[in-house]
Amino acid sequence: MNHSKNLSSSFLKYFVSNVYFEKTGSFFGRLKFNAPSDGVLYNEFYLNPTATMACPLFCLCRYACGHRERGGGMRMTRSKVKCLILYQMDPLGGKIGGIETFDRNFIKYAPEDLEIEFVGVSSDKKCRIGRWQEAELYGKKFDFLPVLYVKNENVRTPIPLSVKFVLSLYKRKAEIPLENKILMFHRVEHSIPFKRCPNRKFLIVHGHMKDLYNPCSEVRWHQFPWLYFKLEAALIPHINRIFVVRRDAVEFYKKRYPAAATRFGFLPTWVDEDLFYPLTENQCGHDREDFARQEGLGLTPQNKLILFVGRLEGQKDPLRLIDSFDHVYSRDSMARLIIVGTGTLLEKTQKKVKQKNLGHAVRFLGSLPPEQVAHLMKICDAFLLTSAFEGMPRSVLEALACGLPVVTTDVGEVRLVVKENFSGKVVDRDIKEIGTAALEVLNDRPKFSPENCLKSVEQYRARNVLAQVYSYCYGIAWADK
């Protein structure tokens, strides 16, 4: 009896120290488990109560069976898990993109006992290349090693940045300690210098590699797809886990690499709800008036604002965007197109605007920080995406989270969140069809209400989705010990 009481008392202490209740908008809140239960770590109580209740039971079984540290004592706490991110970006820079947002949110929402290091590039001339330094993002501190200086991350150079980054990794490899670290990659070629390292590695694939054959692709590999797939085949066996943002791509990879089929899994894109959320009706109206009064925009509060956010590259097909808007404007002269972003097709896009005599109806705002992008999404009337291909475009989720209905071509995983005649329209790439869909959304906003948009992305919050990745890190750290 005393032994049973002691065990119960010890487990209670373990449970209290490793489980906590996080306040959320839900009535139940979120119950979180710090104990890494072999892949079931952060379970949403209101989404998966069975798994949630199973987690402490599993921990009790592991504890009762005497899971011990090397010193022989029961493990009551755990050491920090270390994750090393290797990607060709400046985490403190201003480049906006899906992968850049992924890494910044990964750092932002990381649990306190997940220690993050980042090896990347720097766009700051004063930054000392090849020297580790402490950096801070969203109040989270992490160690940062820039291995390469990049003057402008948004400008493509004759030698691909990926090639220069891999060469820099080789050059600085001796300065990158790897002991007890999990390595995280976003491009498979970045793992080349670490192919033979015994560290656990995982890869995030942000699209479908068959899109290399798409004529609109700006990725340099599209010129030599056979070489990419040969390289990929040599590296995939050395990657322990591959998260893919498209479900059809998961099946594609499983068939292509049957020996590694169990390593592939679907990871949806998410939205940072701390930044992307709707305004009240009064606040939205007030902010729209302020935006319309800005010098040089030539807008009025009565204009119907269509927003595009993205790189002006072949994948996003900005020329089709202008053609589609031309169809809208020919039927509604109060429509205005706001373009946020830049890229190699900027001049061609601006030229197309002039050819269509739309200079008074289209505004190019260039690249903007996330806070300003979020503000525009909160005050515009529709979001328009005319991409040739996508993974699961983050801008679509961000727009919906701001209560902004979306009109998009049928690409990637957009149908997971853009619900037909509920939170937007999903159409073929026909210019008239795109324009007609945009007009329908502009002229029937109650049908595509902010409430509908929010419901469409409710399960794709950053904390919910990233839990899967954090869980993987803890799971393999637990297994290794």
Token reading at 28: 């139940």
Which range is least confidently modeled, 20-24, 177-181, 233-237?
20-24
Token reading at 195: 């192919």
Q: Where in the chain is the domain with CATH 3.40.50.2000?
A: 81-270+462-480, 281-456
Q: How far is CA 29 from CA 14, 32, 46, 105, 423, in A?
A: 21, 10, 8, 21, 26
Residue 64 has pLDDT above 50, yes or no: no
Q: What is the mean pLDDT of residues 41-45?
A: 34
Q: What is the mean pLDDT of residues 370-386?
A: 97
Residue 280's pLDDT band (cuts 50, 70, 90): very high
Q: What is the mean pLDDT of residues 355-381?
A: 95
The per-residue pLDDT for 69 is: 37
The per-residue pLDDT for 95 is: 81
Q: Which residue has the higher pLDDT, 242 or 47?
A: 242
Q: Which residue has the higher pLDDT, 14 or 118?
A: 118
**Distance between CA 33 and CA 53 in Å, rounded?**
10
User: pTM for the whole thing?
Assistant: 0.80
- At what angle are helices 346-355 and 318-329 packed, to 10 degrees? 20
Q: Which residues contact 363 (CB under 8 A, 6 or more apart)?
A: 297, 299, 336, 337, 338, 339
Residue 481's pLDDT band (cuts 50, 70, 90): low
Residue 76's pLDDT band (cuts 50, 70, 90): very low
Residue 31 has pLDDT above 70, yes or no: no
Residue 261 has pLDDT above 80, yes or no: yes
DSSP state at residue 327: H
* pLDDT tens digits, 194-220: 999 999 999 999 988 777 767 777 777
The per-residue pLDDT for 190 is: 97
Q: How far is CA 100 from CA 93, 108, 186, 196, 394, in A?
A: 10, 12, 10, 27, 11
Element (H, E) at 453: helix 450-456
Residue 226's pLDDT band (cuts 50, 70, 90): confident
Which range is least confidently modeled, 249-258, 292-301, 458-467?
292-301
Token reading at 172: 């600085």
Q: Which residue has the higher pLDDT, 121 or 11?
A: 121
Residue 307 has pLDDT above 90, yes or no: yes
Between strands 201-205 and 181-185, the pairing is parallel
Highest mean pLDDT among 122-126, 209-213, 349-353: 349-353
- At what angle are helices 281-292 and 370-379 packed, to 10 degrees? 110
Decide: 389 and 314 in contact? Cβ < 8 Å: no
Which range is least confidently modeled, 105-119, 288-302, 358-372, 379-393?
288-302
Residue 67's pLDDT band (cuts 50, 70, 90): very low
- Strand residue runs (E) in 325-379: 335-340, 362-366
Which range is least confidently modeled, 34-38, 99-103, 120-124, 282-286?
34-38
* From the candidate CATH numbers 3.40.50.2000, 3.40.190.10, 3.40.50.300, 2.30.30.230, the one assigned to the domain spanning 281-456: 3.40.50.2000
Superfamily of domain 81-270+462-480: Glycogen Phosphorylase B; (3.40.50.2000)
- At what angle are helices 394-401 and 370-379 packed, to 10 degrees? 50
**Distance between CA 341 and CA 111 in Å, rounded?**
32
3-state SS class at 48? coil
Q: What is the mean pLDDT of residues 287-308?
A: 92
Q: What is the mean pLDDT of residues 356-365?
A: 96
**Distance between CA 156 and CA 278 in Å, rounded?**
35
Residue 148 has pLDDT above 70, yes or no: yes
The per-residue pLDDT for 78 is: 53
Residue 32's pLDDT band (cuts 50, 70, 90): very low
Q: What is the mean pLDDT of residues 362-385?
A: 96
**Distance between CA 332 and CA 27 in Å, rounded?**
44
Residue in the structure block whose two tokens are 């001796």: 174
CA 95 to chain centre: 14
Q: Please state, for a pLDDT cut of 90, what percent of the chain lies above it.
A: 69
**Distance between CA 441 and CA 421 in Å, rounded?**
9
Q: What is the mean pLDDT of residues 295-317?
A: 92
Residue 286 has pLDDT above 90, yes or no: yes
Per-chain mean pLDDT for the chain = 84
Residue 135 has pLDDT above 70, yes or no: yes
Q: What is the mean pLDDT of residues 217-236?
A: 85
The per-residue pLDDT for 97 is: 82
Beta bridge pairs of residue 122: 149
Decide: 118 and 94 in contact? Cβ < 8 Å: no
Decide: 212 and 225 in contact? Cβ < 8 Å: yes
Residue 79 sits at φ, ψ, to 5 deg, of -75, 165
Token reading at 257: 């690499």
The per-residue pLDDT for 36 is: 36
Q: How far is CA 163 from CA 190, 307, 343, 351, in A?
A: 9, 34, 20, 32
- Strand residue runs (E) in 43-139: 81-86, 114-122, 133-137
Residue 83 has pLDDT above 90, yes or no: yes
Residue 22 has pLDDT above 60, yes or no: no
The per-residue pLDDT for 476 is: 83
Nearest to 367 by CA among 379, 359, 355, 376: 376
Residue 45 has pLDDT above 60, yes or no: no
